[in-house]
Amino acid sequence: MKFYKIPFIWLLLPFILGIVSHELIPINFSHSFYLLIFFSSTLTFIFFNKKVKFNFIVILIFISICFFLAGQTIMSLENNNNIKNAPLENFENCNYIGSIKELSITQSGYIKCIIQSKKEPSNQSKTYKRLLFIKLDNNKTNLTENSTIIFNCKFEKIRNLGYPGEFDSEFYWKNKGINEIAFIPICNIKLIKKGNTSIFTPTYLRNKLLEILKSVLTGQELALANALILGERNLLTNDTTQQFSNTGAMHILAVSGLHIGILLQILLKFLQPFQKLISKNKATILSLFILWIYAITTGFSASVVRSVIMFSLISLGSIRGKKNSELNALAFSALLILSWKPIFIYDVGFQLSYTAMLGIYLFYPFLKTVIVSRNKIIQLITEGTMIGIAAQITTLPLTLYYFHQFPNYFILTNIALMGFSFIILLLGLLLFCFYWIPLIKFMLGFILQKTMSLMLTIVSYLSNLPFATANGFSFSKFMILCLYIIIILLFISIVYKKIKLLYIVLINATIISILIFQNRVENNIQSFKYTHSTFKIIKSCSTNYFLFPSYSRNSNKSKRIIKDFTNLHPGKSVLIPTERLSHY
């Protein structure tokens, strides 16, 4: 592999370093901007002045500095914008006026909103982003995105509870410019102005397509279709999401490269019979146009934008008769997305999405040659399995760091669910096209419902198999860095056939594996206590005691605490009402 042919990799690395280093060495926006102008001007002068002799290494250093400063500058600008979203002083029974920027209805009957608001009455020009959960009396609401509302509540700062294994909600929402939250009933909301309901808005399109799905699907089949086709996971129950997580199939629930690639192939196959009316190049451009409409409809998530940009670059390159490097297209899409939203670098989905694609492009070309079969079906299954293994190689450190667990049957899941995404997307597109014909709508809906039901049954079965997951992994950032160094060295040893380097990689991988499993055993058998104002956790060897008030034992919050804790500290879970706390 000739790395000089993928220049965007070398531009992306210092750019990311500039973004990340801003947290450790923050440079003032004006200072970083002026430094960027200085180095850019110097680089331009050196490059275009024929009288000045320059060295390639010097040019590379200047370019790296420029992109490092660009990352610092963009991140500094992002932080300046987030300062405007700092919390107002909290007062009880305050009225606020705000605009709904994002809206979704959760499985538990809440409207989850991101509100851009200010205190009312107020002449302030500043607005503040807040997270608002509105309790519905029923499943119907006239609130939409971009609606303007007046509401009465008390906002609280988003804080972590602090128990071991907890998902860092405070950091997650902070990176979205949000650090306040409130829960209020729908009766405390007054709609002033309804949001734009034009047919050209993403919300309108998404809601209309969801209505079509609701007309033929119910239950978790509807929730799964909503996730796979429209990219909305809010209807999925915690149990269903956990089952997909346990089997290593979470990537199926996210509209990403897999879905976009399948959708592009479906569109190209659909337009293929019309070659007399539309040329191949025009069919490709039309397909890309539909992909971008689909990206807008699904809410422009980072994974969808990344995939659409990447496939657009590759497809447009093929039109020009040039074979673009997939790695180059991947790096360029990351550069564009991070230039738009540098805070995405801390998004778990963004990290997993890019590392998965990186693993596929790096390791799959070598893995697919390991097993070759003349049988097309066996070869198809083998290639799909190797794609899953390639993605797992590069996502493994992040999976263990964030989720503290590893799906042992991910290869079996990959084989069992192979083809489901293609079938479901195809059926969904056909349903959207022919829903106005009752008979076809009924037939497609019936097939889609049965397909979803079968998929859920397979995932549930695999999730409940013995030893479906290995829990208890506790990682430091330094350990992640070490693992990725080993992965990079492994790739270099395979590409350049360096046997001695491969031995070094295997020795270091063995040492780190021993340290990882030693730490996992310690997480399983250690004993300690954690006390919170509303609950208590006691770990005694391999048994975890959770003490909750009786009224909250079955709440979503309690289930989340138990799940998060047992992922980090595996063991038998015993729930005890706090009324019996005096006995312990």
**Assigned domain for 408 exists:** no
Is residue 294 pLDDT above 50, yes or no? yes
Do 106 and 186 sit in the same domain of this protein?
yes
d(CA 512, CA 481) in angstroms, rounded, equals: 12
User: 196, 227, 249 — which closes off a domain?
Assistant: 196
Q: How far is CA 525 from CA 33, 326, 518, in A?
A: 52, 46, 11
Query: Mean pLDDT, to the nearest integer, of 367-385?
Result: 82
b/e string for 43-72 if b means 16 or more Cβ within 10 A?
beeeeeeeeeeeeeeeeeebbbbbbbbbbb
Mark whether 167 and 117 lie in a shared domain: yes
The domain total for the chain is: 3
**pLDDT beyond 80 at 534:** yes
Whole-number Cα distances in Å, 414 to 304, 310, 448, 542? 21, 24, 20, 32
444 touches 431 (CB < 8 A): yes
**28, part of any domain:** yes
Whether 120 and 190 map to the same domain: the answer is yes
Residue 73: inside a domain = yes
CB 474 within 8 A of CB 568: yes
Q: Is the pLDDT of residue 287 over 60?
A: yes
Judge if 58 and 101 occupy the same domain: no
Find, among 345, 362, 355, the residue nearest to 394 by Cα.
355
Segment 384-389 mean pLDDT = 84
- Report the DSSP beta bridge partners of residue 96: 119, 151
Answer whether residue 513 shows pLDDT above 70.
yes
Q: Is residue 260 part of a domain?
A: no
Predicted pLDDT of residue 119? 65
Co-location of 110 and 191 in the same domain: yes
Least Cα distance to 56 among 68, 66, 46 occurs for 46
| C-alpha–C-alpha distance, residues 245 and 578, integer Å | 31
Please determine, for residue 94, whether its predicted confidence score (pLDDT) is greater than 70. no
Instruction: Show which of 60, 83, 106 is a domain's final residue.
Output: 83
| DSSP state letters, 439-478 | HHHHHHHHHHHHHHHHHHHHHHHHHTSTT-EEE-----HH
**142 and 182 share a domain?**
yes
- Answer yes or no: is 406 within a domain: no
**Which amino acid is it at 513?**
S
The mean pLDDT of the chain is 82
What's the token pair of residue 445? Answer: 């809906």
Alpha helices (H) along 368-437 = 376-403, 410-416, 420-434
In a domain? residue 248: no
The token pair that represents 391 in the structure block: 């993605």
**Residue corresponding to tokens 């999401």:** 241
For residue 562, is it within any domain? yes
Same domain, 29 and 63: yes
In tens, the pLDDT along 211-245 reads 899 999 998 999 999 888 887 887 888 888 888 88
One domain for residues 135 and 66: no
Please, are residues 72 and 342 in contact by the beta-carbon 8 Å criterion?
no
Angstrom distance (rounded) from CA 538 to CA 492: 46
CATH of the domain at 130: 2.40.50
Angle 396-170-236 from CA coordinates, rounded to 5° = 65
What is the per-residue pLDDT for 328? 83
Mean pLDDT value of segment 565-577: 86
User: What is the average per-residue pLDDT within 561-565?
Assistant: 88
Q: Strands, DSSP E only, in 108-147?
A: 110-119, 128-135
Q: Cα(139)–Cα(418) distance, rounded to whole angstroms?
A: 35
Q: Do 110 and 78 fall within a single domain?
A: no
Query: Where in the sequence is the domain holding 141, given as residue range(s)?
Result: 94-196
Tell me, what's the pLDDT at 197?
64
Examine the pLDDT at 481 and tell me if it is beyond 60: yes
Q: Are residues 541 and 562 in the same domain?
A: yes
Per-residue confidence (pLDDT) for residue 3, from 0 to 100: 55
Handedness of CA 164, 165, 170, 175 (dihedral sign): positive
Cβ atoms of residues 130 and 118 within 8 Å: no
CATH number, domain of 570, equals 3.30.70
pLDDT of residue 92: 47
**Token pair in block for residue 300:** 């422009």
Whether the predicted pLDDT of 565 surpasses 80 = yes
Q: Is residue 382 part of a domain?
A: no
pLDDT confidence bin for 88, thresholds 50/70/90: very low
Residues 103 and 131 in one domain: yes
Please indicate whether residue 467 or residue 258 has the higher confidence score (pLDDT). Answer: 467
Cα distances (Å, whole numbers) of residue 34 to 31, 38, 72, 231: 5, 6, 12, 41
Which candidate, 92, 204, 97, places its Cα nearest to that of 154? 92
Residue 473 three-state SS? coil
Are 43 and 124 in a shared domain?
A: no
Crossing angle between the packed helical segments 280-297 and 202-214, to the nearest 10 degrees: 90
**Which of 163, 196, 229 is the C-terminal boundary of a domain?**
196
